[in-house]
Amino acid sequence: MLNVIIFGKPGSGKGTQAAMIKDKYGLIHISTGDVFRKNTSEGTELGNLAKQYMSKGELVPDKITIAMLESEIKSFMPCNGFILDGFPRTILQAESLDKLLVNLNLKIDLVIALDVPNKNLINRLLERGKTSGRADDQSKEKINKRLEEYDNKTKPLIIFYENQKKFYSIDGVGSLTDINIRLVDIIDSKCND
Ligand code: ADP
């Protein structure tokens, strides 16, 4: 079992890299953003609720997000492991995840951050917005709000996972293949410890 969190600011490439890693290691990829967007497009109660926050670039409240993540994880058990993309994004989410995993006799093995400067992120997100149709990619204002949410609520997780000796950061600028190699190097070196 290998459980990895892929960490980073909005637009840092978490989803793309998670999809590549998932195939290589046979993991289940859970993207909280994708689950919320699927619910939004299907018009479920969860989707309608999440949309109110997502469209403004704000985080969805913890209680809703944690319940959703818990039911996702349980729905895929048993499996080879998970790659979590976009979760946790707050200390409460991280603490809840630890508790949930202890109950399932599991743990997080690694947290790998994709490090990308804000300037590149804003360009990437505005570019993605031209084709993604995502409301939160459509303006600098919404993108800045998401970066602000990251600084206030998500960045403290770096220390949380450094304290658990699980945190690694790699350069998230470069070709998809180069970044993938950096990620795989860390996963393989930790798996062979
Ligand atoms: P990005 O990483 O580019 O922000 P995501 O698809 O991961 O894209 O997230 C899009 C939005 O979904 C977030 O801005 C937030 O509103 C919501 N969301 C995703 N994951 C979480 C989470 N763990 N907690 C709260 N809100 C979340």
From 109, 114, 102, select the one nearest 81 (Cα to Cα).
109
Q: Tell me the average pLDDT across 93-100.
A: 98
Catalytic residue among 56, 134, 166, 190: 134
Sheet of 28-31, strand order: 28-31, 82-85, 4-8, 110-115, 167-171
Q: Indicate if 134 belongs to the active site.
A: yes
pLDDT, tens digit, 9 for 90 and up, residues 133-153? 888 999 999 999 999 999 999
Q: How far does the centroid of ligand 1 lie from the alpha carbon of residue 192, in Å? A: 32
Rounded to the nearest 5°, which phi and psi values hold at 112? -120, 120
Residue 193's pLDDT band (boundaries 50, 70, 90)? low
| Cβ–ligand 1 contact at 146 (below 6 Å) | yes
Q: Which fold has domain 2-187?
A: Rossmann fold (3.40.50)
User: What value, to the nearest 5°, has the Cα angle with vertex 108 and ends 104 and 114?
Assistant: 145
Q: Calculate what percentage of the chain has a pLDDT beyond 90.
A: 95
Q: Tell me the average pLDDT across 145-173.
A: 98
Which residues, in sequence order, are CB contacts of 96 under 8 Å at separation 6+?
Answer: 62, 66, 70, 88
Q: Whose CA is nearest to atom 9 of ligand 1?
A: 33
Contact of 97 with 161, CB cutoff 8 Å: no
pLDDT, tens digit, 9 for 90 and up, residues 26-48? 999 999 999 999 999 999 999 99
If one counts every other C-beta atom within 10 angstroms of the C-beta of residue 68, the result is: 19
The CB-based long-range contact list for 11-14 (8 Å cut-off, 24+ gap) reads: 11/116, 11/121, 11/122, 11/124, 11/125, 11/128, 11/143, 12/113, 12/114, 12/115, 12/116, 12/121, 12/172, 13/114, 13/116, 13/172, 13/176, 13/179, 14/85, 14/86, 14/114
122 has a pLDDT exceeding 70: yes
Structure tokens at 139: 């303006």
